[in-house]
Structure 1
Amino acid sequence: MLEGVQFFPVTPFTPNGSINLEVFAEHVRTGLDHGAGGVFVACGTGEFHALSLEEYAQVVRTAVEVTAGRVPVFAGAGGTLPFAQQFARLAHEAGADGLLLLPPYLVQAPPAGLVAYTKAVASATDLPVIVYHRGNARFDVASAVEVARLPQVIGLKDGFGDLELLSRIILGIRSALEDDGKSFLFFNGLPTAEATVPAYRGIGVELYSSAVFCFAPEISMTFHRAAAAGDTALVERLQHEFFHPLAALRDLVPGYAVSLVKAAVRRRGLDVGGVRAPLVDPSPEHLEVLYRLTDTGLAICAHEALR
C-alpha cells in the first residue's frame, strides 16, 4: 500500500493567516512529480495542531483531488477524543485513504488508555489507521500487539527512537499476526528520519517519513536510492554533511522541525508563509545555516547525478 519516501507536505498560509490552497496544491503536485510514495497531509509538518476543522477538511480534500489516486493519501487525526473522531470523519468524507493517529491531547495516558483511544478513533470510520508511537502516546509491547490486532490498524510509526523497545514491539506484533496472515507496516517517524535510516533498517524498518522531501526532494531521493542500494559511502556523506548538521540545527529551538522546513520551502521558490503560533519562524542566523546546509546537500546530489 505504501512504499518509497513518504511525503508530509507543509500547510501554506497567506500574509493574513488564512490557508493558501492554491500554493498547497502546487506543493503536493511537486512532491508527486518527484516520486513521493505516499502523501500524509495535516500531520506534524503540516501543523495539524494549528488547523481548524474547516481548514483541515480543505487541505485533505485538496490533497485527494491533486493526488487523484496516484499514491495513497493519509490524514492526521488526534488530540481530544471527540475532535480526533471528528477529524477522522472529515478525512473520510474528503476521500482520504487512511489516518495517521497522532497522540491525544496533553495527558500522559497508560498503555490501556492508548488502546481504548485507538479503538474509539478507529471506530469513527472504516479508514485504515497507522498509529503514531511518540510523545505522550508510548505503547509497550502488549498494548502495541493489542492495537495491531484491530482490523483497521495497518501500521505503527515510531517517533521515540528506542530501538530496543521497537525491536521487541516488531517481533511481538509479527508473532501475534503470523497465523492471521495480516500484513503490518512499520515506519521510522523520527524528525529528520534519514539521520537514523541505517539503524532502523537494521531491525527491519525500511519505510520512513522525510521532512527534507518537502524542500529538497533531490536530496531525499538521492539518499533513499543510496540506502536501498547499500551505497554506504554516499549515505554517510549525506548524513555527515547534511542530515546530521540539519538535525543539530533543528534541536536548537522547539518547533524548528516544522519552521525550518517551511523556511526552506520558501527559499526554493514556493511562498508557503510562516508558521502559526505557538511555533516561531527561524532567526536570520539560523536561516543562514539552513541555506548553507541545503546548498551543500544539493551540490552532493548534483555531483552524484553526473557520475
Structure 2
Amino acid sequence: MVTRTPLTGAAARLRDGMAQGVLSFPLTSFHADGSLDLDGFRSYLGGQLETNPGAVFPACGTGEFSALDDEEYGQVVAAAVEVTAGRVPVVAGTGYGYAQALRFARIAEQAGADALLVLPHYLNKVPQDGLVEQLRRIADGTRLPLIAYQRDHVTYDAETVRRIAAIPGVIGLKDGHSDLDRLQRSTLAAPDGFLFFNGAPTAELQARAYATVGIPAYSSAVHAFAPEIANAFFQALSAGDDSRVDKLLADFYVPFVELRDRRPGYAVSLVKAAARLRGRPVGPVRAPLTDPTPADLADLDTLLTTGLNLVGATR
C-alpha cells in the first residue's frame, strides 16, 4: 500500500475548473500510418488550452485510451503535463481490470498527472460489491485521486456511491447514463465535496437536466473540435440565456447527435474528423474505430460551418 499525498488540492482544483469552463477530453494524434504523432498532439492540445477549459483529460475515451500501448500512453500523458504546465489539472484515463489499471496509474504518476479517471472495466457485468472492490484496489495502489466513470455495463447505485466516496482517494463520479432519478439519489447519498459531472456522449443536450439535480459541470466532445461553440454554449447556459441555449441546441447540437448516431463509434471518429476539417493535426482513428463515410463527412462539414456561424467564428 502506498502513502497518498493530500487530496484536498486536487479535488479543489478540479471543482474550481468545473465551475469555470467545460472539461476538455483531447483527441490523441496519429500519423496517417497509425503511429503516434506527439508533435501533432502537443500542437493540438496547445490550441485547446488557449480556450480555457476547466481541466484536461488525456488518454481517455475520446483520446482512444484502449488503442494505446503502455509506452504510448505514458508519452501522451507526459506531453499533456508538459503542455498544460500546471495551468489546469491533468486527469489521465485508466481502466481494464484493476491490475492493468494500476499499471497505467503508475505510468500516469511518473508522467506527472494530477488524477485518474477510471474507465469501465473490461467486458463483465458485475455486482455492486465488485465495483467497490475494483476501486478500492486501484486506490490502494496509487497516490493519485480517482474519479469513477459509470457508463455502458457499469452503473453505481446510490448506496454504492456512498461506499466508494468513503474510499480514501476516490473524489468523484463521471456519469454517462443520464438516469436523473438514480443521479439525484446518488448526489444525496454522497458526502459534501464529492465531485459529480455530466459525461454523456454529447453532454450539452442534457446539461440543463443535469443541473436540476445539482450537477452543472460537464465534459464536451464538441470542445475537442469547436471550442468556440462549446464555450458559447457554456456561457449561455451559465447566464441563463435560454433562447441562446435553445438556438444552439436546435441548429447545431441536435443535428450533430443525429449524425453521430448514424454509425457505431462516431462518438469519437466524427469528433476527430471534425477536428481534421479544421486543420487540426489529429490524424485518423485507430481500429476498431473507422473514419466517417464520404457522405457523412460532407454532412459534418456543412454542420460545422453552421455551428461556427452561429457563434460568430470562422473555419
Q: TM-score, normalised by structure 2?
A: 0.92
* Residue of structure 1 aligned with 2:221, choices 211, 218, 223: 211
Worse-superposed segment, 119-128 or 253-262: 119-128
Letter in 1 for 2:135: T
Q: What is the CA–CA distance in structure 2 between the aligned matches of 1:148 and 1:133, rounded to whole Å?
A: 14
Instruction: Report the equivalent of 1:249.
Output: 259
- Work out whether 1:168 is the aligned partner of 2:178: no
- The equivalent residue for 1:97 is 114
Query: Which letter maps to 2:79?
Result: T
Match of 1:271 in 2: 281
Output aligned runs, 1:93-172, within 5 Å.
93-172=110-189
Q: How many Å separate the matches in 1 of 2:299 and 2:184?
A: 35
Say if 2:98 is the partner of 1:81. Answer: yes
State the secondary structure of the residue aligned to 1:131.
Answer: strand
Do structure 1's residue 184 and structure 2's residue 201 form an aligned pair? no
Give the Å deviation of 1:15. 1.6
CA distance in 2, matches of 1:151, 1:239: 39
In the alignment, which residue of structure 1 is the partner of 2:233?
223
1:53 corresponds in structure 2 to: 70
Q: Which amino acid aligns with 2:290?
A: V
2:31 corresponds to: 14
1:271 Cα deviation after fit: 2.7
How far 1:137 moved relative to its partner? 1.5
Partner of 1:293: 303
Amino acid at match of 1:147: I
Is the partner of 2:134 in helix, strand or coil? helix
1:170-198 deviation digits (Å, cap 9, x = unpaired): 1111xxx25xxxx1111000001111111
Listed one character per residue, the Cα deviations across residues 32-73 of structure 1 (whole Å, up to 9, x for unaligned) are 101111000000000001110110000000000000000000
SS at match of 2:57: strand
Q: Are the counterparts in 1 of residues 56 and 91 from structure 2 also a CA contact under 8 Å?
A: yes
- Return 5+ residue gaps in structure 1 as ranges: none
Q: Deviations over 1:196-244 (max 9, x none)?
A: 1111111111111111111101000000000000000000110111111
Deviations 1:76-133 (A, max 9, x none): 0001221111011111110000000001111111111000001111222111111101
CA separation in 1, counterparts of 2:257 and 2:226?
15
- For the residue of structure 2 that corresponds to 1:207, the secondary structure is coil
Give the corresponding residue for 2:85.
68
User: What amino acid does structure 1 have at the position aligned with 2:235?
Assistant: R
User: How many Å separate the matches in 2 of 1:15 and 1:237?
Assistant: 37
**1-structure distance, mates of 2:293, 2:71:** 31
* Superposed CA RMSD: 1.2
Q: Distance in 1 between matches of 2:298 and 2:35?
A: 28
Q: How many residues align?
A: 297
The amino acid of 1:219's aligned partner reads: I
Structure 2: how far apart are the matches of 1:261 and 1:64? 23
SS of the residue 1:187 aligns to: strand
1:260 aligns with 2:270: yes
The 3-state SS of whatever aligns with 1:63 is helix
**Counterpart secondary structure, 2:88:** coil
Partner letter of residue 139 of structure 1?
Y
Q: Distance in 2 between matches of 1:26 and 1:37?
A: 19
Q: Which runs of 4+ in 1 moved over 3 A?
A: none
Residue 30 of structure 1: how far off its partner (Å)? 0.7
CA distance in 2, matches of 1:232, 1:26: 35
2:163 maps to a residue whose letter is E
Q: Which one of 277, 281, 292 corresponds to residue 282 of structure 1?
A: 292
The equivalent of 1:23 in structure 2 is 40
Q: Any idea what the Cα deviations from partners look like across 1:117-163, whole Å, max 9, x if unmatched?
A: 01111222111111101112111111111001112111111000111
Distance 2:202 2:44 in 1: 19
